[in-house]
Amino acid sequence: MIAEHQSEPAGDGGSLIQIEHLVKTYQLGEFEVHALRGVSVRVSKGEFVAIMGASGSGKSTFMNILGCLDKPTKGSYVLEGIDVGKLSRDELAAIRNKKIGFVFQGFNLLSRTTAFENVELPLFYGPASNKERKAKAIEAIERVGLGERIHHYPNQLSGGQQQRVAIARALVNDPSIILADEPTGNLDSRTSVEVMGIFQELNNNGITVILVTHEPDIADFAKRHIVFRDGKIRTDRTNTSPKVASEAIKEMPLIGADEEEAA
């Protein structure tokens, strides 16, 4: 059912992400914290990767570098043929804006700002016209099934709904990759599966998805599993038979999902 992952030999052009010997060391006064100790990995277009590993193994550090939110201490990161390490701050900002959609565990929505305004935010930093911006924002919100909550504020939305807003914001600019760091970490299991359903649907439409999770149940929805340990990749396998969220949800009871599922 789970086989060793083969790095695609089919031409380097096929690799969306190409990472070699990535090292990240934090300096804490006298101490050095080695968050990443040489990570090499390739991810092709259209993959759905789940990253797992113990707490402190470097998953978030890795994701932040993938998302161009942070810079590695050493190593190279090539995204769609662009050597990210050589880019200026502004060029990195442009990459975050156009190519990457980031979904955080804590949602990171602007407070006192409606769902709609949160979702259109990335388009403010691009060339989109007023009309385009509105149309795209509405489309993205409808895509995550929140059409009715469009003018609600984050504090008027449930955790699952807030995470959907965050996903809508991540995909509003048609990114090549969606990066999600424990997107279901704050959600109950039913809502988690719903959110995974959205990721699967986006993935089926060609968007590469990389997500971090602690729960094997969630990782089962991904096509590839990478496990981190002590700042290195421990295992990297293909999941030959990923679960389908839209089917899994049907088997889940509506109320008290957590307890009954565990039973």
Task: Give the binding site for Mg ion (CB under 5 A).
Answer: 60
Site for ligand ATP in 40-59 (CB under 6 A): 53, 55-59
Is 185 strand, coil or helix?
coil
Figure out which of the listed residues 69, 87, 135, 257 binds other proteins, where binding follows CB under 8 A: 69
Task: Report the C-alpha gap between 45 and 203 in whole angstroms.
Answer: 10
* Site map (CB under 8 A) of other proteins, residues 99-118, x = contact: ---x-x---xxxxxx---x-
Task: Report the C-alpha gap between 49 and 224 in whole angstroms.
Answer: 5
Residue of 170, 109, 108, 103 lying closest to 136 (CA atoms): 170
CA contacts within 13 A on the Cβ side of 172 = 33
Task: Report the C-alpha gap between 132 and 136 in whole angstroms.
Answer: 6
Per the structure block, which two tokens stand in for 70?
Answer: 């942070």
Applying CB under 8 A, does 82 fall inside the site for other proteins? no
Residue 33, contacted partner among ligand ATP, other proteins, Mg ion, none, CB below 5-8 A by kind: ligand ATP
Distance of closest approach, residue 178 Cβ to other proteins, in angstroms: 13
Strands 15-28 and 74-79 come out as antiparallel
No. of H helices and E strands in the chain? Answer: 9, 11
DSSP state of 6: P
Q: Which CB sits closer to Mg ion, 60 or 200? A: 60
Applying CB under 8 A, does 28 fall inside the site for other proteins? no
Distance of closest approach, residue 185 Cβ to other proteins, in angstroms: 16
Asked if residue 213 lies in contact with residue 52, where contact means CB atoms within 8 angstroms, the answer is yes
Applying CB under 8 A, does 98 fall inside the site for other proteins? yes
Q: Which CB sits closer to other proteins, 120 or 194? A: 120
Residue 193, contacted partner among other proteins, Mg ion, ligand ATP, none, CB below 5-8 A by kind: none
Residue 169, contacted partner among Mg ion, other proteins, ligand ATP, none, CB below 5-8 A by kind: other proteins
* Site map (CB under 8 A) of other proteins, residues 212-241, x = contact: ------------------------------
Read off φ and ψ for residue 142, nearest 5 degrees. Answer: -70, -30
Convert 223-247 to b/e letters by CB count within 10 Å (16 or more is b): bbbbbbeebbbeebeebeebbebee
Residues 6+ apart with CB under 8 A from 199: 48, 167, 178, 180, 183, 209, 211, 221, 245
Per the structure block, which two tokens stand in for 11?
Answer: 């031409």
Residue 26, contacted partner among Mg ion, ligand ATP, other proteins, none, CB below 5-8 A by kind: ligand ATP
Type of residue numbered 233: I
Distance of closest approach, residue 76 Cβ to ligand ATP, in angstroms: 19
Applying CB under 8 A, does 90 fall inside the site for other proteins? yes
Instruction: Give the interface with ligand ATP as residue ranges (CB under 6 A).
Output: 26, 28, 33, 35, 53, 55-61
Instruction: Give the interface with other proteins as residue ranges (CB under 8 A).
Output: 64, 67-71, 89-90, 93-94, 96-98, 102, 104, 108-113, 117, 121-122, 124-126, 169, 173
